[in-house]
Structure 1
């Protein structure tokens, strides 16, 4: 090989190593951000879906739980989808 080819090959090796390390660090930041957001979302879902009342569903006798919909919070039967009873929150 020519000396210039050796220099270019060495440069490209270093460039790709730096490029790969940079790409992996960005990927790690994105994955970390997504994991944090998922933990926050899961916490909200668990808090919402487990907020039971002593109220029972008048249609099937199941428990009414607080849920969030596109129009806000409401009470829904825990037996969903078998029972589709809903009630507004007082």
Structure 2
């Protein structure tokens, strides 16, 4: 499922990943390069399987590990209210 950030969330890519600003809470989140790849894939309309494949290919990690990482990141972003 594609990912969409709430209207109160601003994003900025840096040399080290992506920074998310939750304007409601005034809190910053920082995604490392793997998190950035997952978010970029999902926001471009890809689903979680696409994000797993991209992560496994880009960082040469086991697909099962990539799936756990993608699931954990998406769950955390949704639970925090940053993403829908």
TM-score scaled to structure 1, two decimals?
0.23
TM-score scaled to structure 2, two decimals?
0.24
Compare CA radii of gyration and give the structure with the larger one: 1
